[in-house]
Amino acid sequence: MMWSILIFIGILVALAVILFLAVIGIYNGLVGLRNRVKNAWSQIDVQLKRRHDLIPNLVETAKGYMQHERETFIRVTEARAKAMGAGAGSPREVGQAEAGLSDAMAKFLLTVENYPELKANENFLRLQEELTSTENRIAYARQAYNDDVLLYNNKIEMFPSNIIAGMFQFLKSEFFQIENVKERETPQVKF
């Protein structure tokens, strides 16, 4: 009689310990994921800054060749200022402002097609490579961020981690979307 009670209690304790360990494991997993999402977001931030820094140089170089494209320059400069202003916002706000800048840059690059001398300028070629790379970096950083967010949000929604997530208030993260997907694509050169 005595023994069976002891065994019963022992089993209960063991179960409690296992449960506790599982909770710790899931909690740590969630924290790890949340940090990864944060880190991925700061990566995007870095790349967006890079883009903002690059644009004035590009505009300066192009100005000498494209004296009749004032409007294009003004549009790019304004879009850049707007995007920089949205820097600290939520992923959605940043996404919208950056979409405006992407749009302006795409139009600018299309205009550049009319100036073969500019396109052959070595300095401009370098800057253009930097721009291409920056656009790629933003796309790739966004891709990595969204992958992480997906993983994290899934964990928050799925059983059993959703219980822990609810208990410790892990909130779902927002995806980073750059609106107007059509205009996000690099402009195709037409002959």
Partner 1 sequence: MWELIESNKRRSFWIFICLFLVLVTLGGLIGASFLPPDGAWWGIGLAMLLTAILGIVAYWAGDDIVMSVGHATMITKESSPQLYNIVEEMQIAAGFGRMPEIYIVADDALNAFATGIRPEKSAIAVTSGLVENLSRDELQGVVAHEMSHIVNRDVLFMTFSGVLLGSITMMSEGLLRGLAYTGGSRRSKLGSASRSHPALLIATIVFALLAPLLAKIFYFAISRKREYLADATAVRLTRYPEGLAGALEKIAGTENSLANYNRFTAPLFIIDPQELTAAGEENKELFSIGSTHPPVRERIQILRKLSGASFRDYQSAFMNLKKSGDLIPERMLRDKTSVPLRQGAPGPIQPPYGSVEPTKKQKSRDIGDLLMAVGGFIFLPCACGLRIKVPPTIGKTSLPCPRCGRILFLPSVTAAVAQQDDEQVRKGTADDDTLVYERKSESWESFSCSCGYPIQLSPLFHANVIQCRNCKKKIEIRYPETTR
Q: Which residues bind partner 1 (CB under 8 A)?
A: 36, 40, 43, 47, 60-61, 63-65, 67, 113, 116-117, 119-123, 125-126, 128-130, 132-133, 136-137, 139-141, 143-144, 147-148, 150-151, 185-186, 188-189, 191
Residue 150 or 169 having the CB closest to partner 1: 150
- Our CA angle for 127, 128, 131, nearest 5°, is 90
Q: Which is nearer to partner 1, 121 or 177 (CB)?
A: 121
CB nearer partner 1, residue 78 or residue 147: 147
- Identify the DSSP state of 114: T
Contact 97, 82 (CB under 8 A): yes
DSSP 7-53: HHHHHHHHHHHHHHHHHHHHHHHHHHHHHHHHHHHHHHHHHHHHHHH
**Cα–Cα distance, 37 to 151 (Å, whole number):** 9
Number of residues that this document lists for the chain: 191
Q: Are the C-beta atoms of residues 119 and 29 closer than 8 Å to each other?
A: no
Of the two residues 82 and 177, which places its CB atom closer to partner 1 in the complex? 177
Nearest to partner 1 of 5, 182 (CB atom): 182
Least Å distance, CB 10 to partner 1, is 33
Alpha-carbon gap, residue 142 to 44, rounded angstroms: 6
Residue 84, C-beta contacts closer than 8 angstroms, at least 6 positions apart: 52
Cβ proximity to partner 1, 82 vs 137, nearer residue: 137
Assigned token pair, 64: 């000498």
CB of 117 to partner 1, least distance (A): 5
